[in-house]
Amino acid sequence: MVNSRLIRTFFLILLFMSGLAVVDGAHAQKLGDGNEFGPVVRAYLGYLQNEQGVVDDRVSRREVNVAYYRRNSNRIRALRQTAMRIAQETQNDYLPELEAVASDELRLLFERPPRFSSLKVGEVLQFKFRYMGTVRSGEPFYIFSRLDPYEQAELIGRTGRSSESSATPAVVTPISRARALTRARRVNTP
C-alpha cells in the first residue's frame, strides 16, 4: 500500500517535470532561440533569458516591487527585439553592446540628454553611443549601441575633436545602416 502510493507520487512528479521540459522548450522556440542565429547571438539571447529569470525570481521573493519588475521585463523584451532585428538584418553573428533606457533614465548615459525629436537612427552621440531607434515595449525605450574603441578613434580622428574637449554632446551624422550594424566576417584560411 505504501509502496504503490510512493510509486504513484514518483510517477506524477516525473510526469510533471517532463511537462515542464516540454513547455520550456516550446517557450524557447517561440522566443527565437533556435538555430536561425549564430552562437554569439544565441548566447546574448540566452543571457537575456537568464536576466528575465533573475527578475522573475526577485519579484517572486518580493524583493522588488511590481513597477521595477514591469520596467525591467519590458527592457529585456526591447533588447531581445533589437538584437533579433540586428541579427536578421545583417545576417552576421555579431551584436554591438546594447543599452536600453527609458526617458527618465537618459541621465545614466548622458550628462545632458539629447532631444530625441531631432535625433536620427544611426547618429553618434558624444563619440560613445550610436542611436539605434526606439522600441515600444510597454513604454518607449531608447536603444543605443556602445561604440567600440576602434570606432571611437576613427570618429575622433575624422572630426578632429575629442569628446572630453567638447562642452556639448557631440553629434556625428549618420553613416549607412549596414555599416553601422555589421562587423567584417572572420575568414579562416587553411
Residue 16 included in any domain: no
Calpha distance 131→125 (Å, rounded): 8
Residue 114 included in any domain: yes
Residue 10 included in any domain: no
Domain extent for 111: 31-181
Contact 106, 129 (CB under 8 A): no
Residue 105 included in any domain: yes
| pLDDT at residue number 174 | 47
Calpha distance 179→96 (Å, rounded): 12
Residue 189 included in any domain: no
| pLDDT at residue number 167 | 39
Residue 147 included in any domain: yes
Calpha distance 44→164 (Å, rounded): 31
- For residue 173, give Cα distances in angstroms to 19, 51, 121, 122, 177: 52, 34, 10, 8, 12
Residue 42 included in any domain: yes
Calpha distance 22→173 (Å, rounded): 48
| Cell numbers describing residue 16 | 510533471
Query: How open is the CA angle 109-104-128, to the nearest 5 degrees?
Result: 15
- What is the count of structural domains for the chain? 1
DSSP helix/strand/coil, 89: helix
Calpha distance 108→143 (Å, rounded): 13
- pLDDT tens track, the chain, 190 positions: 556 776 776 665 666 666 655 545 545 444 444 578 899 999 999 999 999 999 999 999 999 899 999 999 999 999 999 999 999 999 989 899 999 999 889 888 888 888 877 788 888 888 899 999 999 988 999 999 999 888 888 888 887 765 444 434 455 544 444 445 545 444 455 5
- pTM of the predicted protein model: 0.66
| Cell numbers describing residue 102 | 527609458
Residue 23 included in any domain: no
The amino acid at 103: S
Pairing of strands 171-172, 97-102: unpaired
Biggest CA pair distance of the chain: 85
